Amino acid sequence: MTPAGGALPITIRDATKAYGRIFALDNIDLDIRSGEFMTLLGPSGSGKTTLLMVLAGFTRPDYGSIKFGEREIVRTPPHKRDLGMVFQNYALFPHMTVADNVAFPLKLRGVSKPEAEQRVEQALETVQLGGYGERRIDQLSGGQRQRVALARAIVFEPRILLMDEPLSALDKKLREQMQIELRRLHDKLGMTTVYVTHDQREALTMSDRIAVINHGRVMQLGTPNEIYERPANRFVADFIGESTFLPVSVQDGVANFAGQTLKVAQLPGSTDHLLLMLRPERLQLITNGTEIVDDEVNAFRASVREMVYQGDSFLMYTALEDGTEVTVRGMTRRDMVSNLPAIGDAVQLALHSDDTVLVAAGEA
């Protein structure tokens, strides 16, 4: 079921769409590589869905160019774009059986009946729903509907697959299982996939690259690792993972926080308005009062405010000397919780210089 002629790259140039004075898309340039799993990640109203709708052809941009391979398609109507799409609510036709739903794109393409039947069964088997063809849609569970929608989107071997938050209606366990399955399916079929989600963990789990989108612009484009470890600005850092931000001043190539020199692996290019990003899981709790002297570790004095137990991990809310609240996450392994401080105790928060990341305060 690999796409005939191979996957296609997508080239987006200057894509702009304004609703009144709000820019849903603001001059977006984006290159999606052939066969890549690209996730458009952003909060609701960021423009990620608009961008997907522009790719699918349901929304006409004000101006801009969209190319599938070498073909300019910005003025092509949706039914001539030949791309698979999984809708957020699946949009399975309720008056058709599972098999009729999956056969729908084949019928429109004039595929002969025996061949269509065979390909439908094959597509259903790919999504592990072999033998479900005669079921009615309302007899299926949410997860099964999701799979049928997927089968319908891949059965005609499109070279591009779009997915609009396809897992958002599933419960957490099923969602995590489907993330892995979708990713495997992508690797097996090899089409270019554009995936829209607001769930940062989902994006990190599944993507080759992530485009973080806000206010109709691409805030950062990179691999999951780059996005998480080296966020381009405060928005990206804040949206991907939980963080606390501390104001930092830079003088003569040395970063300072509240008079304390920070050991930083790498200073960003621009040194105006920088923030120190503190991720809860990167901080280490030091409970004995000894002074930390280590070239590669920054230490901050804090006092414990509150502790929350979450099963696999715990969250400790602490306050720095200036009152800023900083959260520390620790695993609940026995050796890590054997010596936890009590509320009100003074502690130190240790941060390795490699994890000491400075981000730009603005969005630029």
Residues in contact with another protein by CB under 8 A are 56-58, 77-85, 87, 89, 91-95, 104-105, 108-109, 137-138, 152, 156
Cβ nearer to another protein, comparing 61 with 280: 61
Q: Which is nearer to another protein, 195 or 228 (CB)?
A: 195
Residue 329 Cα distances to 36, 38, 363, angstroms:
33, 30, 27
When the beta carbons of 156 and 300 are compared against another protein, the nearer one is 156
Which residue type, as a one-letter code, is found at position 277?
Answer: M
342 DSSP assignment: P
Q: What is the maximum span of the chain, computed from C-alpha positions, in angstroms? A: 78
Instruction: Name the residue nearer to another protein (CB basis): 171 or 272.
Output: 171
Nearer to another protein, 19 or 260 (CB): 19
- Half-sphere exposure for 75 (CA within 13 Å, toward CB): 1
Q: Which is nearer to another protein, 95 or 172 (CB)?
A: 95
SS3 content of the chain, % helix, strand, coil (to 5): 25, 35, 40
Query: For 78-107, b where at least 16 C-beta lie within 10 A, e where not — what string?
Result: eeebbbbbbeeebebeeeebbbbbbbbbbe
Angstrom distance (rounded) from CA 24 to CA 44: 11
Considering the complex, what minimum distance in angstroms separates the CB of residue 66 from another protein?
Answer: 15
The answer to whether 194 and 55 have CB atoms below 8 angstroms apart is yes
Concatenate the DSSP letters of all residues of 134-184 into one string: T-BGGGS-HHHHHHHHHHHHHTT--SEEEEESTTTTS-HHHHHHHHHHHHH
